[in-house]
Amino acid sequence: MNNFDWLERFIFYLDIEKNASPLTLQAYRNDIIQFLEVAEDPEGNCQELNHITLRRYLAWLKEGDFSRRSVARKLSAARSFLFYLQKEEVISGGRWSVVARPKQGKPLPRFLFDHEVIALLEAPDSKDILGFRDRALLELIYASGLRVSELVSLKIQNLQLEERLIKVLGKGRKERIIPIGRVAAALMTEYFNSIRPILIARNDNNENIEQVFLNRSGKALSDRGVRYIFKKYIRQVTHKEDITPHSLRHSFATHLLERGADLRVVQELLGHVNISTTQIYTHVTRERLREVYHSCFPRK
């Protein structure tokens, strides 16, 4: 078998054994194809791959216009592939650990203050069909801390609006149950009963759409569509840079912790595997405390 044959076997392994998501599988495939191309023998025999090849790949990445985070991700994908080949006894004597990953900075998540969130949620015109959809959509992201990918894949059977619960399929295809507030539940109920039927009627193909959120044509709303909607309204309420739909997820976590929520509870709500991922929000709250202190303390 050549390199690409082994790559497909590795992707199959990640899918079946590791239960990786489709997005993760695609990212691994793209990164490893790039690694094999840099190795200058993409269709060759995997036995030629070694730590020198990996080191050459790292040098190529550092010369390119890649962020440290991207370099670390791509190097990790290549390493995982090599470890898999070693496990399958295709290659031996792996010294992958001698190729060090670049140190990662830990930028604080971008989030919105309470008044900015309220302004954003109230920006859509609720008297308009699409405006009401946008209001419900934004409210749900903030009320649940959903990722955009989780939002667009949310299906009708995932809603338990009377109990104010939603079931989410997160990273690694892991399910979690998230409670939502009364405001979000009321908006979602109105959207589902009154707005969504109007949108579904616009679908000329008579498709049975399971996704909760629809576009103006009655088809499932895409990731790109959500980002367009968010960008439309965020420009109206703040001039902050680099604010994305994910910032609402950050805001959800930050505001919970600021009001005394347990870190483990927030970890569960966000669907983080490791609590260290959630702990970054404690740094955010400290930054908020510092900012409030310096802006309000009289003896500056």
Q: How sure is the predictor about 10, in pLDDT bands with cuts at 50, 70 and 90?
A: very high
Note the pLDDT tens digit of each residue in 154-212: 999 999 999 999 999 887 778 899 999 999 999 999 999 999 999 999 998 877 899 99
Looking at the structure, tell me whether residues 94 and 122 fall in a common domain.
no
Give residue 53's pLDDT: 83
Looking at the structure, tell me whether residues 93 and 119 fall in a common domain.
no
Q: How sure is the predictor about 103, in pLDDT bands with cuts at 50, 70 and 90?
A: low
Give residue 101's pLDDT: 63
- Higher confidence at residue 17 or residue 47? 17
Answer yes or no: is 108 within a domain: no
Note the pLDDT tens digit of each residue in 16-28: 888 888 888 999 9
Domain limits for position 223: 114-296
* Rounded distance between C-alpha atoms, residue 163 and residue 166, angstroms: 9
Answer yes or no: is 106 within a domain: no
Give residue 287's pLDDT: 72
Q: Kindly tell me if the per-residue pLDDT of 104 is higher than 60.
A: no
Note the pLDDT tens digit of each residue in 152-166: 999 999 999 999 999
Answer yes or no: is 103 within a domain: no
* Residue at a domain's end among 98, 123, 140: 98
Looking at the structure, tell me whether residues 130 and 53 fall in a common domain.
no
Looking at the structure, tell me whether residues 216 and 241 fall in a common domain.
yes
Looking at the structure, tell me whether residues 224 and 263 fall in a common domain.
yes
Helix, strand, or coil (residue 165): strand
- Higher confidence at residue 142 or residue 99? 142
Give residue 140's pLDDT: 97
Give residue 48's pLDDT: 72
**Active-site residue, 147 included:** yes
Retrieve residue 242's tokens. 């680099």
Q: How sure is the predictor about 99, in pLDDT bands with cuts at 50, 70 and 90?
A: low
**Active-site residue, 272 included:** yes
- Higher confidence at residue 278 or residue 195? 195
* Rounded distance between C-alpha atoms, residue 147 and residue 15, angstroms: 21
Average pLDDT over residues 81-87: 87
Catalytic pick among 79, 135, 196, 249: 249
Looking at the structure, tell me whether residues 67 and 184 fall in a common domain.
no
Q: How sure is the predictor about 94, in pLDDT bands with cuts at 50, 70 and 90?
A: low
Answer yes or no: is 200 within a domain: yes
Predicted model pTM: 0.67
Q: Kindly tell me if the per-residue pLDDT of 238 is higher than 90.
A: no
Answer yes or no: is 227 within a domain: yes
Answer yes or no: is 133 within a domain: yes
Surface-to-core class of residue 116, CB atoms within 10 Å of its CB (0-12 exposed, 13-18 middle, 19+ buried): middle
- DSSP string spanning 101-155? PPPPP-PPPP---HHHHHHHHT-S-TTSHHHHHHHHHHHHHHHHT--HHHHHT-B
Looking at the structure, tell me whether residues 128 and 234 fall in a common domain.
yes
Looking at the structure, tell me whether residues 249 and 195 fall in a common domain.
yes
- CATH code, 266: 1.10.443.10
Looking at the structure, tell me whether residues 92 and 118 fall in a common domain.
no
Catalytic pick among 171, 176, 227, 288: 171
Note the pLDDT tens digit of each residue in 246-276: 999 999 999 998 888 999 999 999 999 888 8
Surface-to-core class of residue 103, CB atoms within 10 Å of its CB (0-12 exposed, 13-18 middle, 19+ buried): exposed
- CATH code, 65: 1.10.150
**Active-site residue, 281 included:** yes
| Count of domains observed in the chain | 2
